[in-house]
Amino acid sequence: MIRLENVTKKYGSKIAVDGVSFSIKEGSIITLIGPSGCGKTTTLRLIAGLERPDSGKVYLNGKPASSPRKILDPCKRNIGMVFQDLALWPHMTIRQNVAFPLNGTKADSHERAAQADEMLRTVNLHGREKQYPRELSGGEQQRVALARALVLKPRILLFDEPLANLDSLLKREIIDMLLELHRKLQFTLVYVTHNQEEFSRIADKVILMRSGRIEQEGALEQLKKEPRTDFVRRFLDVD
């Protein structure tokens, strides 16, 4: 579903992603982990088409989506994203926020509202449609962002540490909801975090990055059992 082939991305002389290759199967969950600054967000932005690789290629669904010369429009990638800052529009109601991605579709305003409301029910926010983001708690705002990311029924969902500021209980609640939505909708999920609690709960397969490169990838249990380097050992808190 997603394949990176030797992808490099520089910002000036700083190499943010350095010759990274991996592939992710359709419908699976990958957790991209590593310390702050190791290149996780840049990798997600490369998948989303928000960054152009300096070398290498990104394939989606077997077709080339990004190369140094050619970039498939992010809107045409069928990808939903939830960022750390959520980026909800404060002047729009919850329903308007969730319906926003539908503006480019053929659906009329009634259909758009109906689809937004259906997504809001799915994330247990039925009845909150006419409120504004500031009237909702942090966890509820997360669920609005999740509903908005899923309203177009994307085949890929990218999650960039949006739960960083929530307490443990809320984190767990949202992760459980996300996993349930994944079972129901079967999208491919790439979940980025540096937080042990989060990746322990989500992780199936993890890709651990360090300074723009992949340090080790595999099942989390496998990495814990056989950390290839001291860095992996330390990052996963293995004694």
What is the binding site for ligand ADP (CB under 6 A)? 11, 14, 16, 34, 36-42
Choice between 51 and 117, CB closer to ligand ADP: 51
CA–CA separation, 204 vs 221, rounded Å? 9
Smallest gap from Cβ 104 to Mg ion, in A, equals 27
Residues 103 and 112: beta-carbon distance below 8 Å: yes
Choice between 44 and 175, CB closer to ligand ADP: 44
Choice between 16 and 47, CB closer to ligand ADP: 16
Smallest gap from Cβ 159 to ligand ADP, in A, equals 12
Choice between 119 and 207, CB closer to ligand ADP: 207
Q: Which of residues 39-98 bind Mg ion (CB under 5 A)?
A: 41
* Partner whose footprint covers residue 14, from ligand ADP, Mg ion, none (CB < 5 to 8 Å by kind): ligand ADP
Smallest gap from Cβ 161 to ligand ADP, in A, equals 8
Nearest to 141 by CA among 104, 77, 83, 88: 88
31 binds Mg ion (CB under 5 A): no
Burial profile 45-73: b = 16 or more Cβ within 10 angstroms, e = fewer: bbbbbbbebeebbbbbeeeebbbeeeeee
H or E, element range at 139 = helix 138-150
Q: Please compute Rg for the chain using Cα positions.
A: 18
Smallest gap from Cβ 208 to Mg ion, in A, equals 14
H or E, element range at 4 = strand 2-11
Residue ranges that bind Mg ion, judged by CB under 5 A: 41
